[in-house]
Amino acid sequence: MALDLAQFHDAFFAESFEALDSMETALLKLDVGAPEPELINTIFRVAHSIKGGSATFGFSDIASFTHTLETLLDELRSNRRQATRTLSDLLLKSVDVMREMLRAVQHKEPLDAQRIADLQFDLEVAIATKDVPPEAAPAVAASEPAAPPAAETAKPQHNEQSWRIVFRPYPQLFAHGNDPLRMLRELKDLGHLSVELDASALPALQDLDPESCHLAWTATLTSEVTREVVAQVFDWAEGDCHLEITSVVVEAAPETKSVETAAKVIPMKAPGAKAEVASEAAPEGARSGVGDSSSIRVSIEKIDELMNTVGELVITQSMLGQLGSRIEGSVADQLRSGLAQLERNVRELQESVMRVRMLPISFVFSRFPRMVRDLSHRLGKEVELKMTGEQTELDKTVLEKIGDPLVHLVRNSIDHGLEKPDVRMAAGKPAMGTVHLNAYHKGGNITVEVQDDGAGLNKERILAKARSRGLVGANDALSDEQIYDLIFVAGFSTAEQTTDVSGRGVGMDVVRRNVKELGGSIEVRTEAGKGSRFVITLPLTLAIVDGQSVAVGAETYIVPLTTIIESLQLKPAMVNRVAGRGEVFRFREDYVPVIRLHELFGVKPRAQALHEGLIMVVEGEGRRVGLFVDDLLGQQQVVIKSLETNFRRVEGVSGATILGDGSVALILDIPGIIRVSSESLVAA
């Protein structure tokens, strides 16, 4: 029965994409001239692993490209080539092409053969010329050690390092797509190799399973390579074999001889031993064959199903809690005690599932070093990227949707915000500008900031552009906050010329819309000559919210706790009516407008006069309002159900939930309610 290797493709692609991310990160950290050996090893290891996996699965185009790349990296790793900016650019382009090739093969799409061939040719030219920049070639050639005579390269040199490798595959080795002979051939490429076959576990012919591995090998490799390099050959067999790599001192010998014994020793000689960059040897047992069992891959669909089930459990627990509160009798106290314990257990289960969905924001931040490097080079600017709070966690759904808004903000900071080096120096600033990405938890939300030390927003220029477009009247007086808010209007741009980076008026309106769709908000803080800061506030998750239940007539609404500042009861004398703002009341040295929820949603209230009900002071997008409600019902954690999926989008409502009594309550979107109320006042 033929083995279907396609069952391992998903794991190969997932691991390859992760490995390419680590390769790109290492390349961005590569110092020109004197790179760290560990970074070079990381880069080489990724190319080596992807080459081996591609060859195993029959992806010959990828294997061919990565083989060429690996040859170039080996020269860099063995100190036969210097790291240069041009070489780094070439390697980063190779990462991009490898990603494209893997995606094309994964989705069974045609490869861009011309792009691949062109870049592979550039890699081969770089290998042939010994360096990418022509002016650097003589220096590199001068520093390169002379190659030993061909007759001597196959011989172990005096006092060379020798490794004894015991390789005992487990029976399932073939089933996981591994080829032991390919691994032995790769060992042969590292230096002088002799291999001894162990066939003691080979069963009788009638008992032989052709899909199981029964052989083992003991090899002796004489070379200058480190233990880590030897172990890399067996990367794909980790967990499918027992592996021992021990150091053996090689004494001086006049020549290498082939030896025949009863155990059958197979001598193999490489055309030339390769030198390795000195690096820290891997600890004994690093490749013992025991796989890492501390984590498993689970599809997000399964996590979502689990989350939905937990959500339904929360609703059921709430229903039982309400039912238990109405029961009287001898067992009532015991029932309520049991329900309280159930509530604690459900909350712990809910929090555990939420933690499974949480990922560090570094998954988003990791894309920016490459982007900033390329963009600053294209624009002729010197930019330092600082990132803090990368381990701040948020829900995977939020994480996936915040990436594009952050890309727009970072691009704008570099293109519009930061000045050219000569302009900065003339203004008394360092030539290198700074873009700072920061993330941190604040209350029940996560805050992400994009800050630059550039010129800041030009208030007069923004206002003039808005007036020329008719967005603002000639005599209208706007606050600084209102002026800066104009940059989020669709199609608005102050760029003097259109480029492929920005200036088409597309981007900032998309940023605000995407952030609002996540239930978040964005603020702009800027100072002329000192820079700008964009502050995005997001919910930790889109699945569950802690809310305050409020009654308006016969309806129940949920107000997110993170938006509530205070609840109070007004006296008639505390309320004033202001033209253009409706009813207002004084709250902490400021006048706050009142929004009557029953008017907004067309509900008949129990209380008409403000002093007969309650005012809930809430905040959204930096603005405060007082929501007029009949009564407060209590706090509870509710599971958010999408209104768009089951009905349609309603402005001022972020979703719905099912209460303990089975009724449906709308979850209020406070920023949306403030916008709707402001629009209705303007229309009036």
Of 98, 113, 122, 120, whose CA–CA distance to 21 is shortest?
A: 98
Among candidate residues 24, 41, 48, 408, the one labeled active-site is 48
What is the SS3 assignment for 31?
coil
Active site residue 412: yes
d(CA 507, CA 499): 13
Residue 334, Cβ neighbours under 10 Å: how many?
Answer: 10
**In contact, 623 and 674? CB cutoff 8 Å:** yes
**In contact, 360 and 392? CB cutoff 8 Å:** yes
Bridge partners, 167 (sequence order): 217, 243
d(CA 684, CA 672): 18
Q: List Cβ neighbours of 482 (8 Å cut-off, separation of 6 or more).
A: none
Q: List Cβ neighbours of 164 (8 Å cut-off, separation of 6 or more).
A: 218, 219, 220, 244, 245, 246, 247, 248
- Amino acid at position 606, single letter: R
Of 615, 604, 600, 581, whose CA–CA distance to 650 is shortest?
A: 600
Q: Which two tokens stand for residue 481?
A: 């906050």
What is the SS3 assignment for 248?
strand
User: In Å, what is the CA distance from 81 to each residue of 35, 45, 256, 446, 563?
Assistant: 11, 18, 31, 45, 59
**In contact, 47 and 66? CB cutoff 8 Å:** yes
d(CA 265, CA 288): 24
What is the SS3 assignment for 252?
coil
Active site residue 70: yes
Bridge partners, 404 (sequence order): none
Among candidate residues 70, 75, 449, 555, the one labeled active-site is 70
**In contact, 676 and 600? CB cutoff 8 Å:** yes
Backbone angles phi, psi at 508, to 5 degrees: -70, -35
HEC states along 220-232?
EEEECCCHHHHHH
Active site residue 144: no
Q: List Cβ neighbours of 344 (8 Å cut-off, separation of 6 or more).
A: none
| Strand residue runs (E) in 286-376 | 358-360
Of 73, 80, 72, whose CA–CA distance to 144 is shortest?
A: 80
Angle between helices 37-57 and 85-106 (to 10 degrees): 30
Among candidate residues 41, 412, 438, 514, the one labeled active-site is 412
What residues are labeled active site? 48, 70, 412
